[in-house]
Amino acid sequence: MPPKKFKDLNSFLDDQPKDPNLVASPFGGYFKNPAADAGSNNASKKSSYQQQRNWKQGGNYQQGGYQSYNSNYNNYNNYNNYNNYNNYNNYNKYNGQGYQKSTYKQSAVTPNQSGTPTPSASTTSLTSLNEKLSNLELTPISQFLSKIPECQSITDCKNQIKLIIEEFGKEGNSTGEKIEEWKIVDVLSKFIKPKNPSLVRESAMLIISNIAQFFSGKPPQEAYLLPFFNVALDCISDKENTVKRAAQHAIDSLLNCFPMEALTCFVLPTILDYLSSGAKWQAKMAALSVVDRIREDSANDLLELTFKDAVPVLTDVATDFKPELAKQGYKTLLDYVSILDNLDLSPRYKLIVDTLQDPSKVPESVKSLSSVTFVAEVTEPSLSLLVPILNRSLNLSSSSQEQLRQTVIVVENLTRLVNNRNEIESFIPLLLPGIQKVVDTASLPEVRELAEKALNVLKEDDEADKENKFSGRLTVEEGRDFLLDHLKDIKADDSCFVKPYMNDETVIKYMSKILTVDSNVNDWKRLEDFLTAVFGGSDSQREFVKQDFIHNLRALFYQEKERADEDEGIEIVNTDFSLAYGSRMLLNKTNLRLLKGHRYGLCGRNGAGKSTLMRAIANGQLDGFPDKDTLRTCFVEHKLQGEEGDLDLVSFIALDEELQSTSREEIAAALESVGFDEERRAQTVGSLSGGWKMKLELARAMLQKADILLLDEPTNHLDVSNVKWLEEYLLEHTDITSLIVSHDSGFLDTVCTDIIHYENKKLAYYKGNLAAFVEQKPEAKSYYTLTDSNAQMRFPPPGILTGVKSNTRAVAKMTDVTFSYPGAQKPSLSHVSCSLSLSSRVACLGPNGAGKSTLIKLLTGELVPNEGKVEKHPNLRIGYIAQHALQHVNEHKEKTANQYLQWRYQFGDDREVLLKESRKISEDEKEMMTKEIDIDDGRGKRAIEAIVGRQKLKKSFQYEVKWKYWKPKYNSWVPKDVLVEHGFEKLVQKFDDHEASREGLGYRELIPSVITKHFEDVGLDSEIANHTPLGSLSGGQLVKVVIAGAMWNNPHLLVLDEPTNYLDRDSLGALAVAIRDWSGGVVMISHNNEFVGALCPEQWIVENGKMVQKGSAQVDQSKFEDGGNADAVGLKASNLAKPSVDDDDSPANIKVKQRKKRLTRNEKKLQAERRRLRYIEWLSSPKGTPKPVDTDDEED
């Protein structure tokens, strides 16, 4: 460590007075002035040097504890150095003559160990350089290269460089192949040696810049420039600023030569190799700058292909011991990672990079990843970031069991989301040992079980059948074979466009890489531009590129069967696009092709993105889709806003921005054509039914003269006659192209000419209607039926209901009930009467706001009627799933589903039942309950403290009352009627609820393992139930939590208010099958006709405050994929009226034994004979055979 006031050598020398005997050298340092006294002898020279030495030692810095300048630079203070120059090896090698008294002398001021070569050192280096150059093979540019070390100025060097470039311009030399043939890289590597003069090193960089400029714009000859990067980067660490500037210019010139795809697949691997080498840290800093520039100049999809190789190298740089290099490496890595298009991981990019740099953050990173709901497709770039973290977590000795559990779950989830096996193939060997270690050594059985599942998923991928089909990604070897095959085919052609240099291995390798990466990202336009630049730009050459290369490559990637409509009709849309919604990639680089007049059914699983695609088309957001001036589209949907509900129909349509130029007469005529007469046109929009609203939207589309109609579930709002009208409308207008999403299979069969199906995030085309499509893909039938093949739900059987021996007996009923909400002008329900039994399957139907939910709430005790009476069996348990049921679970976002259920039933009662209005005690009721009552038992008036018991009394119950201030031995049994008469109805109801819940929970253990099994029965994965907070669950998962909570105490009735709102198709099918096979009563509100029609033979129609009961309707069991269950509860009323010996009379599945007929004398004799023969047979049987039991119900 130098002293604080240490002055650097250059500053020190600049402060000294100039020596008249020395002149500056153009190579650095000083020469002896030739005009000095030539006659001075050695003694005078010795005296001169001695004077300089003494002058430097004038200040005795050693006395102060510091080394003097003379001590630091030892070549200054010893004149003997001058006499010992003949010991230098380079001088000894000079023709064997030893030291010669010649031109160059050792400088008296500049030290020979500084960064700047001294004249004698330069002579030595130049002599060595010339000697090395003379050993190289002679080339047309050798003479110019050999003159560069002799140049005295940069101008002279540039003249020689100009001659070198002119040599490249001569006929036969203008190919990059000459760079290798003339070994220019080897020569420049010798030029940049540190001992060479800075002028020579700078000239080497200028040669690179000029060669790069010469070959710029001459693809594919830039392939030969790649080795120059290492030479230029080495010079970045030079101490001379002029050399560093020239090196940076050379790097920029080289980068400008390469097309975008070559930067990522050709240049970047070279830069990464350089970063992995032992180069100086300053040069690596420059290499990181090159990586940053490549990232800025290249497309993201091209860069994502490099993650597997780039991330490990950049991670090593980010952990380098040199602080400056590590800091820049971290920034480059973070910027590089941020280009990845994965919305699941994007909020965690910084944490992931921090973890790659600092392994101590692995637990935090794994915990964060375990809370991610992975929905985006997992690709190789994503795995490149996550696998190092997961692998380290699996193998760290400090990893806790909880961390290992989270890690194996993330591994399993990621593996399941990989669509292409090639994406994960290289990572499986890294993950398998760690997962196997957890399986073998984890202490918790749960962790071992999860690791076993993850291991099986990995091995399934690892052992996947390798069929002879294209994997979806081209390898470099495959790209090379493809290129060579096509070059070979055209070599025999007279119109061959292949240049001689294209037979060179360097060019073939270069073109193969570009062809591979452009194909893998499906950028055919960019590949076509590159190949056209290579082969030439004439029409014939462009056609050759398009037909021989691009067409065949596309056919390789899109291995689709030939579409029958390839050349039929007028093509109005043909575009390649991708589509994402939120955090999900719905369609990835697929093709949309529409023909005029065709009607396309758009099919796929719920959530595949059908409506999103149509909305993107309608909003003009789809890449490559013709604009509205070229092609008019109309999305037929309900655009009705609240403030528009009072408008008449003509005014409503006139508000449309696209119809501002249309007169009211034209609008009225269009409405007339679809059935709106003058009287109906005068109605307000809000008064129209769903079917007429659909017609109104179709009239709007007609006025817009739409070329494409986009119909999203059009039949959901139409009755049978209007569906027929819509079918005829579509069939008549053959000039309109339609895209239709519908689950109505009959409608699709009638109108569709083609089916577009979502398959692996691509659009697949099938000719014909839905029936023809299902014939080609039988698995598609599950989209249009209710099935539990993809998800299962099972409900627990209802418990015993005391006194109810028939499941057709009413257990809950309403009599002449009227109810109105506070402040309402008219009642929501008026004089409504209905009843429910254990076999009920009731659908409550009606328009929005008719009072359906109000009816259900009154029936379940959520609301108290203003008039009338609501009665139910005292022990009746009702599982209620409200329309806004999620509001209860949303109050427990921090709890897991398991913890929520434990909290809800912690004290044996359902805590959420206590929140019902019918259970809340008002202030007046509280005051009433404090009054004393007399039950005529001779003890006078007393105040009730609590109800502590209940027992049957005739057709009702009596309750054990604990009196306030009286000992328990004085408790009294009070009939229910007496307690209700004195105002204790809610206290009685609360105790009834407690008893009902106690009975329902009699066989339930409120422990995590039992609760986990219960959640699995309703379709919620145990991992989600036990470890994921409710705040992180989706709407569909929360509905399953609510269903599980309602079914925990084995209810007798299940009440569902809009159960299909949040459930996907698979869960909806599972719920339908579970309800069908359940033996309790069900009442539901739903607008899903398919769901209701498959389950409910009875309908309650609620409208205008009244309720009309519809008798038994025919249930459409064809909606179920398995054809339905004829023995399901509630589906056949006739079966309910005819009990048999094996009939289940109650939800508890109690077998009703019929009274046996009295045996006659002869029958008794036959019975005795059978028993005797059985006994004899037993005596002759082998030892140990159990003795048969004589029973009264034995069969003949």
pLDDT in tens, 855-887: 988 888 778 888 998 888 878 888 888 766 676
Q: What are phi and psi of 708, to 5 degrees?
A: -130, 125
- Alpha-carbon distances of 617 from 20, 401, 631, 766, rounded to whole Å: 85, 49, 11, 21
Q: Considering the chain, tell me which residue range(s) the CATH 1.25.10.10 domain(s) occupy.
A: 341-465
Q: Calculate mean pLDDT across residues 830-835.
A: 91
Among 17-26, 97-106, 250-259, where is mean pLDDT lowest?
A: 97-106
What is the structure's pLDDT at 799? 75
Residue 444 is which amino acid? L
What is the structure's pLDDT at 580? 66
**Do the beta carbons of residue 699 and residue 674 sit within 8 Å?**
yes
SS3 state at 571: strand
pLDDT tens by residue, 161-208: 999 999 988 877 778 888 999 999 999 999 999 989 999 999 999 999
Asked if residue 286 has pLDDT above 90, the reply is yes
Q: What are phi and psi of 599, to 5 degrees?
A: -115, 110
Among 404-418, 475-489, 582-596, where is mean pLDDT lowest?
A: 582-596
pLDDT tens by residue, 749-795: 899 999 998 887 788 899 998 888 888 887 676 666 666 566 788 89
The residue count for the chain: 1196
Higher pLDDT pick, 1053 / 881: 1053
Q: Calculate mean pLDDT across residues 213-235.
A: 93
How many Cα atoms are found within 13 Å in the side-chain-facing hemisphere of 326?
9
What is the structure's pLDDT at 1087? 66
**Do the beta carbons of residue 579 and residue 616 sit within 8 Å?**
yes
What is the structure's pLDDT at 857? 84
H or E element at residue 739: strand 737-741
Spatial separation of the C-alpha atoms in residues 975 and 972, rounded to whole Å: 10
User: Does domain 810-915+935-1137 match CATH 3.40.50.720?
Assistant: no
What is the structure's pLDDT at 1141? 39
pLDDT tens by residue, 409-463: 899 888 877 877 788 888 999 999 999 999 999 999 989 999 998 999 888 754 4
| Maximum mean pLDDT: which of 34-43, 209-218, 965-974, 1124-1133 | 209-218
Q: Considering the chain, tell me which residue range(s) the CATH 3.40.50.300 domain(s) occupy.
A: 571-751, 810-915+935-1137
Q: What are phi and psi of 380, to 5 degrees?
A: -60, -40
**Do the beta carbons of residue 161 and residue 206 sit within 8 Å?**
yes
Spatial separation of the C-alpha atoms in residues 650 and 644, rounded to whole Å: 12
Q: Is the peptide bond before 220 cis (omega within 30 degrees of 0)?
A: yes
Percent of the chain past pLDDT 70, that is, above it, reads 73
Q: Calculate mean pLDDT across residues 934-938.
A: 81
CB neighbour class for 846 (10 Å; exposed up to 12, middle 13-18, buried from 19): buried
Q: Calculate mean pLDDT across residues 903-931.
A: 70
Spatial separation of the C-alpha atoms in residues 1009 and 1022, rounded to whole Å: 10
Spatial separation of the C-alpha atoms in residues 283 and 234, rounded to whole Å: 6
The DSSP call for residue 19 is P
Helices 184-191 and 119-135: angle between axes, nearest 10 degrees = 170
Higher pLDDT pick, 548 / 141: 141
- pLDDT bin (cut points 50, 70, 90) of residue 1133 is very low
- Token pair, residue 1098, equals 């009875």
- Token pair, residue 89, equals 């090896």
Q: Calculate mean pLDDT across residues 538-553.
A: 79
CB neighbour class for 136 (10 Å; exposed up to 12, middle 13-18, buried from 19): middle
**Do the beta carbons of residue 372 and residue 344 sit within 8 Å?**
yes
Beta strands in 747-849 (DSSP E): 754-759, 762-767, 810-819, 829-837, 841-845
How many Cα atoms are found within 13 Å in the side-chain-facing hemisphere of 62?
6
**Do the beta carbons of residue 1042 and residue 903 sit within 8 Å?**
no
What is the structure's pLDDT at 753? 93
Spatial separation of the C-alpha atoms in residues 952 and 659, rounded to whole Å: 74
CATH number of the domain located at residue range(s) 571-751 in this protein? 3.40.50.300
Q: Calculate mean pLDDT across residues 283-294.
A: 96
Spatial separation of the C-alpha atoms in residues 871 and 911, rounded to whole Å: 22
Spatial separation of the C-alpha atoms in residues 546 and 23, rounded to whole Å: 68
DSSP string for residues in 181-192: HTTHHHHHHHHT
How many Cα atoms are found within 13 Å in the side-chain-facing hemisphere of 365?
27
Residues near 1175 by beta carbon (within 8 Å), at least 6 away in sequence: 1188
Asked if residue 1009 has pLDDT above 80, the reply is yes
Q: Calculate mean pLDDT across residues 974-994.
A: 80
- Average model confidence (pLDDT) for the chain? 78
- pLDDT bin (cut points 50, 70, 90) of residue 45 is very low
Among 339-343, 471-475, 891-895, where is mean pLDDT lowest?
A: 471-475
Among 12-26, 489-503, 1079-1093, 1141-1155, where is mean pLDDT lowest?
A: 1141-1155
Cβ density class 481-496: b for 16+ within 10 Å, e for less: ebbeebbeeeeeeeee
Percent of the chain past pLDDT 90, that is, above it, reads 25
Residues near 19 by beta carbon (within 8 Å), at least 6 away in sequence: 108, 109
- pLDDT bin (cut points 50, 70, 90) of residue 1095 is confident
Spatial separation of the C-alpha atoms in residues 847 and 1028, rounded to whole Å: 38
Asked if residue 1192 has pLDDT above 60, the reply is no
Q: Where are the alpha helices (DSSP H) in 1143-1195?
A: 1161-1179
Q: Calculate mean pLDDT across residues 722-729.
A: 84
CA 97 to chain centre: 77
- pLDDT bin (cut points 50, 70, 90) of residue 241 is very high
What is the gyration radius of the CA atoms in the chain, in angstroms?
A: 45
CATH number of the domain located at residue range(s) 341-465 in this protein? 1.25.10.10
CA 695 to chain centre: 39
What is the structure's pLDDT at 611? 77
